Amino acid sequence: MAPSEHLGRRGALGLAGAAALTAAAPGARAQTPAEVKIAMLVPLSGPWARSGLLEQMGARMAIDEINAAGGIKSLGGAKMKLMEFDAGDSAEKAKDAAQRMIAQEPDLAGGFGCWLSSFTLAATEVTERADLPWLTLSYSDAITNRGFKNVFQSSPTADTQAQELVPIIMAMAEKATGKKPTKVAIVGDNSASSVSFYKPLKEHVFKNLGLTLVVDEVFTPPLADATSIVQKLRSGKPDFVLLQSTNVGDDKLLVEKFAEFGLTAKKMPLVGGGGHWCVPELLKLTSPENIEGLIVGLANWPGKDASELEKRFIERTKEPWFGHDSIFAYAHVMILREAIERGASADRRKVAATLRAIDITDGPAKLFPDGRLSYDEKGRRKGAKISMVQYQGGRPIAVYPDSIAVKPAIWPKSS
């Protein structure tokens, strides 16, 4: 979907409105900004840098496409400018970066980041005090449980994902094997999104679905060794394993140790959580055989209707596919553009007010599987649903929901 497909009509209306303002107030045109700044705060160094770099690619592409299509038309064609900041490798560094961002760029219209939920929790303490509207793909429920008015969570929360993921996985297993799974394992870290994910599972989801948790291994990242985890999995013999690591290094260590003991996704169903499981870097770091068949639950994925967008991204970046992190950054830039265009203002408070009121099913809404862009009173995107992909033929393929699926999921017959 090119920006020209959804900028035209609104842009014309916005220009008409701008012209009317100019006629009413001769000095108004002179005050129209030549550029509109938005911020991106993501990890560009450290263990989570690969995901941050993929966000950067998606955001830069969106900025270039918006500006090539005429910029913000309701502001006289003002160009959008992306101000990039590194969240680093800790919540403290993310918060420090947010403080520098606010101090150095007082005219920001909005921003997005910080990928890892722990980083987002820290950084949004700063952006909220500055009344800066902030979009995030981070999953933790705590992000939008604090009563903040300027934080907008575009992904389904970890709680929502936990409650949706397991029933979908069980249905896949039962359809393929004729048997309902009864045993499950959790292997993951103690980051904020992972903790949010575990909570409903252990409180009621597993019990309601008749599942027994036979392995419960939670570690502090980065993971040093997975040998003891493998031993517990071999002993517990779960019907499937939920993997809630949060960085590529730990992903690699886990799948390679599993493969060493014959526990690949082709034999023991592995279900990863989060976009990091689908970064192209993972295939460079480990054998494709180690992750073939791996199923991944995540917050967004470009499906069958995003082929043109994916083609542009691949041609531009030379990446093998367009995935979770890049489409979210692309979408967040487009959402901020939409809010600025509709409000005919780069004032951050007006942008935030527009985001709180927006409810559309076109433009950037089409960048989500459910096709709606609207945020509730907590700042959570209404109707946000989990997406699922699976490694088939050496690359992640959308398998759920039907709105994005390009192939059906494959379940190990021997499980």
Which pLDDT does position 21 carry in this prediction? 36
Q: Are 102 and 131 in contact (CB under 8 A)?
A: no
Report d(CA 324, CA 386) in Å as an integer. Answer: 12
183-189 sheet: strands from edge to edge: 212-219, 183-189, 240-244, 270-273, 295-298, 387-392, 395-400
Other CB atoms within a 10 A radius of the CB of residue 234 amount to 13
Cβ atoms of residues 293 and 410 within 8 Å: yes
List the chain pLDDT tens, one digit each, 415 residues: 444 444 333 343 343 333 333 333 333 344 678 999 999 999 999 999 999 999 999 999 999 999 999 999 999 999 999 999 999 999 999 999 999 999 999 999 999 999 999 999 999 999 999 999 999 999 999 999 999 999 999 999 999 999 999 999 999 999 999 999 999 999 999 999 999 999 999 999 999 999 999 999 999 999 999 999 999 999 999 999 999 999 999 999 999 999 999 999 999 999 999 999 999 989 999 999 999 999 999 999 998 889 999 999 999 999 999 999 999 999 999 999 999 999 999 999 999 999 999 999 999 999 999 999 999 999 999 999 999 999 999 999 999 999 999 999 999 875 4
Residue 135's alpha-carbon distances to 157, 206, 236, 271, 352, in angstroms, are 13, 31, 40, 27, 10
What pLDDT does 17 receive? 38
- What single DSSP character describes residue 24? H
For β-strands 387-392 and 395-400, DSSP reports them as antiparallel
Report the pLDDT value the prediction gives residue 209, as an integer from 0 to 100: 97
Q: What is the pLDDT of residue 269?
A: 96
In the chain, the domains with their CATH numbers are: 4-156+304-384 (3.40.50.2300), 159-298+388-400 (3.40.50.2300)
Strand, helix or coil for residue 199: helix
CA angle 77, 15, 150 (to 5 degrees): 70
Per-residue burial over 357-383, b = 16 or more CB atoms within 10 Å of its CB, e = otherwise? ebebeebbbbbbbbeebbbeebbbbee
Name beta bridge partners: 374: 359
Token output for 131: 């009344």
The 3-state DSSP class for residue 406 equals coil
What is the CA 378 to chain-centroid distance, rounded?
18
Contacts of 172 (CB under 8 A, 6+ apart): 295, 409, 411
